[in-house]
Amino acid sequence: MTVSRVLRNRGDVSEATREKVLNAARNLGYVPNKIAGALASQRVNLVAVIIPSLSNMVYPEVMTGISAMLEDTGLQPVVGVTHYQPDREEAVLYEMLSWRPSGVILAGLEHSDAARAMLSNAGIPIVEIMDVDGQPVDSVVGISHRRAGLKMAEAILAAGYRRIGFLGTMMPYDHRARKRMEGLQEGLARAGIVLADQEFYSGGSALLKGREMTETILARSPDLDFLYYSNDMIGAGGLLYCLDKGIDVPGQLGLAGFNGVELLDGLPRQLATMDACRAEIGRIAAEIIAGKRPGMAGGRVIGGEQVELTPKLQPGDTIRRAG
């Protein structure tokens, strides 16, 4: 019974005894049968983490926050990737829920009816992350992308720019980028300004794609004086294109991206961006799953936690100083 309690990570065993059991298990090369344990508990100690992309530089930091928080809880994250496709999300969710995980963390609030039904009927903690602009199934941790776009519009207008273009990848599948564009348009409309042009690409983000999209939109609308990119990767590509072509940034043309990724630290000029609170979102989501969120009584619950974080504008060197 003592060995069983140790291997199930129960707390009612002394540290000395726990260490003896774990040392013996290591020496024997013993690995417990989680499937057998799950037959009794109806749950395994896995947390399903469902994200849209492994290549997107945003999600490794989210995963770092999740993994760090779960490290001493006995829960293990297992990752599924949807490639921004609703039918793929359905399939991944179906497979993961069939293993009866202890919780689900998944990116975004937009799901198919079938996926939402599976989440609603799962009977475990569900935490949707990255976005709070919508109706969550259970708990939600993220930022308002509409407010982020609105805040960027205010900064752009305060700096004196008036002919603004928006560039986005994974469109129309990236709902969070779409919401930032909508927030941008709302902010511009308050000043009587409309979005002058937009350039979309349905594939993923890359420096080269950012260069290509920037060249395309400027060839079509050479009078643009500001470009707002859906993410830092294509924004960095746009910045490199402008510097290569001798375009005065930020005097002639202002630029901004989104996410605040470390990539920006290696650029010849600091791209304006917003920190999307990625690691903190991952950490808080894992806290909710593990029942360690401050104020949560009695361990893990299904309880509708709603946590909105506030991204910070980092003006860098690519927006004119207001005033």
The per-residue pLDDT for 13 is 83
Residue that terminates a domain, selected from 234, 251, 275: 275
In a domain, 318, yes or no: no
Closest to 231 in 3D by CA, of 253, 209, 254: 209
In a domain, 319, yes or no: no
Structural contact between residues 53 and 59, judged by C-beta atoms closer than 8 angstroms: yes
Pair 196, 298 in one domain? no
Query: Which DSSP symbol is given to 164?
Result: E
The per-residue pLDDT for 249 is 97
Pair 137, 7 in one domain? yes
CATH of the domain at 259: 3.40.50.2300
Mean pLDDT per 10-residue segment, the chain (323 residues): 76 83 78 55 85 87 95 94 95 93 96 94 95 96 97 97 97 93 98 98 91 98 98 96 97 96 88 94 96 65 82 94 72
Pair 7, 139 in one domain? yes
Residue 65's region, left for phi above 0, alpha for psi from -120 to 50, else beta, is alpha
In a domain, 84, yes or no: yes
In a domain, 317, yes or no: no
The per-residue pLDDT for 6 is 78
In this structure, the strands spanning 126-131 and 139-143 are parallel
Pair 179, 69 in one domain? no
| Residues in a beta bridge with 51 | 81
Tell me the pTM: 0.85
Pair 293, 268 in one domain? no
Pair 97, 137 in one domain? yes
Number of domains in the chain: 2
Pair 73, 153 in one domain? no
Domain that holds residue 106: 2-22+31-143+278-308
| Whole-angstrom distance, CA of residue 132 vs CA of residue 134 | 6
Structure tokens at 297: 């009584």
The per-residue pLDDT for 115 is 94
Structure tokens at 143: 């930022």
The per-residue pLDDT for 192 is 98
The per-residue pLDDT for 15 is 86
Pair 229, 300 in one domain? no
Pair 182, 297 in one domain? no
The per-residue pLDDT for 280 is 96
In a domain, 38, yes or no: yes
Q: How far is CA 320 from CA 91, 252, 291, 317, in A?
A: 47, 10, 45, 8
